C-alpha cells in the first residue's frame, strides 16, 4: 500500500495524458468531501461539502475545503458533479460559486433541488444540468457516466469518468441495501460492466470499512418504529436528519397506521420534506400532514411531530425542546424517537439532550436502546463484493478517517488488488494515474477554512486556540504605566481578570516579577512599548503557570507615563 508522506511538496506539472486526483476534503476526516480531477488542462470537481465543527472549535459555523489550489484555475473547472444531496457533499458549493458563479452543477433531480434551496439563501442562481442513472455526458475531456447507488438519501449517484488516462469509478457514498423503500438498488450490473471494460482507478466510500458484515436494510427498522408508536401513550416526537426521506417515510407510514396526524418542525425539515413531496420522493397520504395549529388541538395520542436536531445541534428544534426554549413543551408520557445515527464528536451533545428530555418525563427511544437506525454506508462485506465485481487495477479509498481508509485498502488487497495499486492519501495529496499506474506526486494546501458568522477564512487555527484558551484558562489584562526614561513603573500595575480565579491578594506576588523584568530591560536598553508588553506577558504567564498551574491569555498594555 502506498501512503502519503507527511512532508510532501507541491506536485510537478501532470505528465501529458495523465490524470491527477486531489481530494481537498473527506480524506482523513468524515465530512467536507471534495475531489478534484485534472486531465488535459481541465478540472472536474466531484462534490463540494462542509464539515461541522466539534466542541474544540468554538464559534465556528461550518468548515470548508481549502480552494487555494484551484483558485487560479477556476476557469478550467468544467463542472461540479454532485453525487447526492447531503451537506457534507453539497454544503460548500455556495462558497465555491461565490468565486465563479457559472460553474455548471451536475446532479440528480433531488440533489439539485436540495442544493437549489440552499443557493437561494445565498442569492445565487446556478447553472445546472440534471442527470439520472444511465446518462452519459461529457464535460471538457471528461466523459461521465452516472450509475444508481443506494444511500441514506434518495437519488444518489456514482460517477464513472473516462479520459485518455483510463476509466475511473467513484462510488460517492453508497451501500447495498437489497430492499430499499424505493426499490432503487446500487447498480452492481453497471459496476460489473465497467469492471469488464477495465476500471483503472476505483474510489470507494470507506466510512464503514471497519464494520464487518453487511449494513442492515432500511426496512429492518419497521418493528422498532412500530413498537414505539404502538406503545406511545401520548405524543410521538421524532427527530431525524432533514434529508433522510426514506426514514421519514417510514415514520409517516407508522403515524398513518396508528391514526396520528403529523406536523414538520424546523426550517430545514419543512423545506426539504416539501421538496421531496413535490418531486415525488415522499409519499404523503392525503390529510396526514397538517399545520401545527391544527395539530395542537388534537388529543395527544393522535399527534406526531417530526423535527430536526438528532445530533444535539444547539439551535435545532429538539435541543430547544429539551432546554424548554421551544413552543413545544415536552411533558410526562411523550415519546421521543431519535431515528438517526450518532455521529462521532456529537455524543456529549446528544446524551445531554436525551437526559434533559428524560428529565421532563419523555420516554426516549434511540439507537442505544432500540433498532431505530441503520447506516447509509457499505460495511466491509459489501465493499468486498464490490471489489470482486469491479476487479479494479488501482484503488483509492475515500470518505473516512485514516483508520477507515486503511481498513478499506486492506479489504481491496484481500480481494487481490496489488498492494502497489492501493493508495492511501490524505487531503491535498496528489495521486497521478499515468500509464495505468498510480503514484503519489506531491501535496497542495488542504487545511480547514472556517466560516464564522459572515466571514470565510477569517478565523484561523491560532484564533481558535485563543478561543479555547479564553474558555478554559481565562484572561488577565495587565495595565502598566512605565516611565520612558527610567523604565520603571510609575505606579503598581492594574490587573483585570476574567475566568481566572483570583482575589485582591492574588496578583501581589507578580508585581515584583514585573518590576524585575522592566529593570532588566532598562539595563539592556530595551524600551519600545511592544517589547515591554512582551516582557510583562512572559513574566505574568510564567507566574500563572508556576503559582496556579494555569495558562491564561495575558493581555499586557504598556502606557507611557
Ligand atoms: Zn452521504
Q: 253 C-alpha vs ligand 1 centroid, how far in Å?
A: 24
Is pLDDT at 3 greater than 80 in this prediction? no
Q: 211 C-alpha vs ligand 1 centroid, how far in Å?
A: 17
Q: 156 C-alpha vs ligand 1 centroid, how far in Å?
A: 8
Write the DSSP assignment of 241-307 as a string of letters.
Answer: -TT-HHHHHHHHHHHHHTT-EEEEESHHHHHHHHHHHHTTSS---TTTB--HHHHHTS-GGGEEEEE
Distance CA 157, CA 275 (A): 19
> What is the rounded average pLDDT of the residues 87-103?
96
Q: 89 C-alpha vs ligand 1 centroid, how far in Å?
A: 7
Q: Please give the grid coordinates belonging to residue 365.
A: 427511544
Among 52-66, 105-119, 256-270, which is the least confidently predicted range?
52-66
Q: 327 C-alpha vs ligand 1 centroid, how far in Å?
A: 32
Q: 252 C-alpha vs ligand 1 centroid, how far in Å?
A: 22
Predicted local distance difference test score (pLDDT) of residue 345 = 74
Do 167 and 394 touch, CB atoms closer than 8 A?
A: no
Q: 158 C-alpha vs ligand 1 centroid, how far in Å?
A: 12
Q: Mean pLDDT for the chain?
A: 93
Q: 83 C-alpha vs ligand 1 centroid, how far in Å?
A: 9
> What is the rounded average pLDDT of the residues 446-450?
90
pLDDT tens, 451-496?
887 788 778 888 878 878 877 888 889 898 888 778 788 888 888 8
> What is the rounded average pLDDT of the residues 134-152?
98
Q: 176 C-alpha vs ligand 1 centroid, how far in Å?
A: 14
Predicted local distance difference test score (pLDDT) of residue 4 = 67
Q: 205 C-alpha vs ligand 1 centroid, how far in Å?
A: 10
Q: 558 C-alpha vs ligand 1 centroid, how far in Å?
A: 53
Question: Alpha helix (H) ranges present in 67-108?
Answer: 68-71, 87-90, 93-97
DSSP 3-state of 72: coil
Q: 49 C-alpha vs ligand 1 centroid, how far in Å?
A: 10
Continuous segment of H or E residues that includes residue 429:
strand 429-434
Better-scored residue on pLDDT, 396 or 536: 396
Model confidence at 91, pLDDT cuts 50, 70, 90, reads very high
Predicted local distance difference test score (pLDDT) of residue 55 = 72
Distance CA 28, CA 42 (A): 26
What's the whole-model pTM score?
0.87
Predicted local distance difference test score (pLDDT) of residue 461 = 81
Q: 308 C-alpha vs ligand 1 centroid, how far in Å?
A: 17
pLDDT tens, 357-370?
999 999 999 999 99
> What is the rounded average pLDDT of the residues 50-54?
85
* CA-closest candidate to residue 151, choices 85, 210, 213, 202: 85
pLDDT tens, 377-424?
999 999 999 999 999 999 999 999 999 999 999 999 999 999 999 999
The separation between CA 348 and the C-alpha centre of its own chain, rounded to angstroms, equals 17
Q: 330 C-alpha vs ligand 1 centroid, how far in Å?
A: 31
Is pLDDT at 58 greater than 80 in this prediction? no
* CA-closest candidate to residue 169, choices 152, 185, 150, 146: 146
Is pLDDT at 196 greater than 80 in this prediction? yes
Q: 13 C-alpha vs ligand 1 centroid, how far in Å?
A: 32
Distance CA 535, CA 527 (A): 11
Predicted local distance difference test score (pLDDT) of residue 530 = 86
Is pLDDT at 303 greater than 70 in this prediction? yes
Q: 467 C-alpha vs ligand 1 centroid, how far in Å?
A: 31
Is pLDDT at 155 greater than 90 in this prediction? yes
Predicted local distance difference test score (pLDDT) of residue 402 = 94
Q: 342 C-alpha vs ligand 1 centroid, how far in Å?
A: 14
> What is the rounded average pLDDT of the residues 441-445?
95
Q: 443 C-alpha vs ligand 1 centroid, how far in Å?
A: 26
Q: 88 C-alpha vs ligand 1 centroid, how far in Å?
A: 7
> What is the rounded average pLDDT of the residues 192-204?
98
User: Which range in 118-127, 489-498, 503-512 is most confidently predicted, on average pLDDT?
Assistant: 118-127
Q: 504 C-alpha vs ligand 1 centroid, how far in Å?
A: 56
Q: 482 C-alpha vs ligand 1 centroid, how far in Å?
A: 60
Distance CA 168, CA 162 (A): 6
Q: 47 C-alpha vs ligand 1 centroid, how far in Å?
A: 11
Q: 267 C-alpha vs ligand 1 centroid, how far in Å?
A: 20
Q: 287 C-alpha vs ligand 1 centroid, how far in Å?
A: 31
pLDDT tens, 312-343?
887 788 999 999 988 899 999 999 999 988 77
Amino acid at each position: 500500500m502506498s501512503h502519503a508522506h507527511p512532508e510532501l511538496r507541491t506536485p510537478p506539472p501532470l505528465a501529458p495524458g495523465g490524470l491527477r486526483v486531489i481530494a481537498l476534503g473527506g480524506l482523513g476526516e468524515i465530512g467536507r468531501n471534495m475531489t478534484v480531477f485534472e486531465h488535459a488542462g481541465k478540472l472536474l470537481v466531484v462534490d463540494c461539502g462542509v464539515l461541522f465543527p466539534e466542541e474544540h472549535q468554538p464559534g465556528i459555523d461550518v468548515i470548508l475545503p481549502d480552494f487555494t489550489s484551484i483558485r487560479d484555475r477556476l476557469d478550467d473547472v468544467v463542472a461540479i458533479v454532485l453525487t447526492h444531496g447531503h451537506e457534507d457533499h453539497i454544503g460548500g458549493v455556495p462558497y465555491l460559486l461565490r468565486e465563479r458563479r457559472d460553474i455548471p452543477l451536475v446532479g440528480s433531480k433531488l440533489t439539485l433541488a436540495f442544493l437549489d434551496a440552499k443557493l437561494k439563501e445565498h442569492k445565487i442562481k446556478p447553472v445546472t444540468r440534471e442527470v439520472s442513472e444511465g446518462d452519459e455526458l461529457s464535460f471538457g475531456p471528461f466523459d461521465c457516466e452516472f450509475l444508481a447507488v443506494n444511500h441514506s438519501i434518495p437519488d444518489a449517484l456514482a460517477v464513472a469518468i473516462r479520459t485518455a488516462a483510463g476509466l475511473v469509478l467513484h462510488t460517492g457514498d453508497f451501500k447495498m441495501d437489497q430492499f430499499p423503500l424505493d426499490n432503487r438498488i446500487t447498480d452492481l450490473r453497471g459496476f460489473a460492466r465497467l469492471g469488464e471494460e477495465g476500471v483503472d482507478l476505483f474510489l470507494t466510500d470507506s466510512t464503514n470499512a471497519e464494520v464487518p458484515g453487511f449494513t442492515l436494510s432500511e426496512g429492518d427498522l419497521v418493528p422498532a418504529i412500530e413498537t414505539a408508536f404502538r406503545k406511545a401513550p401520548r405524543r410521538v416526537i421524532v427527530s431525524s436528519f432533514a434529508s433522510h426521506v426514506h426514514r421519514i417515510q417510514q415514520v409517516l407510514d407508522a403515524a398513518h397506521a396508528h391514526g396520528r396526524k403529523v406536523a414538520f418542525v424546523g426550517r430545514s425539515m419543512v423545506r426539504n420534506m416539501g421538496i421531496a413531496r413535490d418531486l415525488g420522493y415522499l409519499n404523503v397520504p392525503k390529510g396526514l400532514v397538517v399545520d401545527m395549529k391544527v395539530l395542537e388541538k388534537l388529543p395527544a395520542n393522535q399527534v406526531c411531530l417530526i423535527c430536526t436536531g438528532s445530533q444535539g445541534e444547539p439551535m435545532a428544534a429538539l435541543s430547544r425542546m429539551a432546554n424548554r426554549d421551544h413552543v413545544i413543551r415536552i411533558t410526562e408520557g411523550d415519546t421521543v424517537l431519535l431515528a438517526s445515527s450518532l455521529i462521532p464528536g456529537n455524543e456529549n451533545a446528544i446524551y445531554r439532550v436525551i437526559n434533559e428530555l428524560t428529565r421532563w418525563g419523555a420516554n426516549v427511544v434511540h439507537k442505544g436502546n432500540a433498532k431505530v437506525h441503520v447506516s447509509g454506508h457499505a460495511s466491509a462485506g459489501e465493499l468486498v463484493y464490490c471489489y470482486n465485481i469491479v476487479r479494479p487495477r488501482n484503488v483509492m479509498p475515500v470518505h473516512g478517517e485514516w483508520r477507515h481508509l486503511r481498513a478499506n485498502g486492506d479489504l481491496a488487497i484481500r480481494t487481490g488488488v496489488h498492494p502497489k495499486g492501493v493508495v492511501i492519501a490524505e487531503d491535498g495529496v496528489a495521486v497521478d494515474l499515468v500509464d495505468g499506474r498510480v503514484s503519489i506526486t506531491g501535496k497542495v494546501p488542504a487545511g480547514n477554512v472556517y466560516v464564522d458568522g459572515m466571514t470565510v477564512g477569517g478565523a484561523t487555527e491560532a484564533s481558535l486556540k485563543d478561543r479555547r484558551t479564553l474558555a478554559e484558562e481565562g484572561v488577565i489584562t495587565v495595565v502598566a504605566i512605565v516611565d520612558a526614561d527610567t523604565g520603571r513603573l510609575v505606579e503598581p500595575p492594574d490587573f483585570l481578570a476574567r475566568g481566572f480565579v483570583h482575589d485582591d491578594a492574588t496578583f501581589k506576588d507578580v508585581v515584583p516579577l514585573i518590576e524585575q523584568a522592566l529593570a532588566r530591560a532598562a539595563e539592556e536598553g530595551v524600551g519600545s512599548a511592544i517589547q515591554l508588553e512582551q516582557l510583562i506577558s512572559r513574566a505574568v504567564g510564567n507566574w500563572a503557570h508556576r503559582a496556579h498551574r494555569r495558562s491564561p491569555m495575558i493581555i499586557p498594555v504598556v502606557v507611557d507615563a
